Amino acid sequence: MKGFKLIAALLIMSVGLNAQNNNSKAQSLLDRTSAALKAYKNMKVEFSYDMDNKEAKIHESKKGLLLVEGNKYRLNIAGQIIINDSKAVYTYIPDSKEVQINDPGEGDANLTPTSLLDSYQKKYRIKYIREELQGASNVMIIDLLPIEGKKFFKIRVVIDTKKNQLTSFALHDKNGNIYSYIIASFQTNIDLKPNSFTFKASDYPGVEVIDMR
């Protein structure tokens, strides 16, 4: 009986140590990926966006284009244009011919690959899930669990372990919604137009400006 208890204790300790080692390995990969993102002058990311809720039988899918340079970004998705020039966020909605202006803030809507991996050390706990082969790439799947209350209870990130590159991430909220971003193309240090991160109302004749700051 004592021998059984000793074996059980050793097994529990082994599982705990393996989890700790795997979480450390996950943090090391996140550190490398974050450092790589910070080293890029800019990024151009083509991606697909899926919103799923199994219980409600909802599935939506869209394609988008994201440009990132420092704290600035430009997002084109579903006909909308969202521009963050680091001082304000401009959301242009063609159907209603209006642009809404908001403070940048740090809300969930402002998540980009850079902002997500720039803040994970302070805002999330790291949980290693597994490693697997996706296509020709070996990837690590990691859960980021918010330390403080958020609309979502975890972000699942998938990282190419050889390229130190994010391939997808998914936000899971408390209502059963999953918002997935799957990267199709990732380019760095490219030539961008000077006005990529500015919004000029004069470029959109007849637009109504709604300043919500």
The pLDDT assigned to 176 comes to 94
Q: How far apart are CA 85 and CA 89, in angstroms?
A: 7
Parallel/antiparallel/unpaired status of strands 165-173 and 178-188: antiparallel
Distance between CA atoms of residues 84 and 74, nearest Å: 6
State how far the Cα of 171 lies from the Cα of 51, in Å rounded to an integer: 10
pLDDT at 213: 86
**88 touches 213 (CB < 8 A):** yes
67/85 Cα distance (integer angstroms): 12
Distance CA 184, CA 140 (A): 17
pTM of the model: 0.80
Q: What per-residue confidence (pLDDT) applies to 204?
A: 87
Per-residue pLDDT, 147? 86
SS3 label, residue 41: coil
Structure tokens at 145: 């669990």
User: How much is the pLDDT for 134?
Assistant: 92
Determine the pLDDT at residue 19. Answer: 55
Structure tokens at 182: 């799957």
Q: Name, in order, each residue with C-beta under 8 angstroms of 212's C-beta and a sequence gap of 6 or more.
A: 100, 101, 102
Residue 117 tokens, joined: 């991996």
From first to last of its 213 residues, what are the pLDDT tens digits of the chain? 444 444 444 444 444 445 567 888 999 999 999 889 889 999 999 999 999 999 999 999 999 999 999 888 999 988 899 999 989 999 999 888 999 999 886 554 456 677 767 767 778 889 999 999 998 899 999 999 988 877 889 999 999 999 999 999 999 999 999 999 999 999 999 999 989 999 988 888 899 999 988
The pLDDT, as a whole number, for residue 108 is: 46
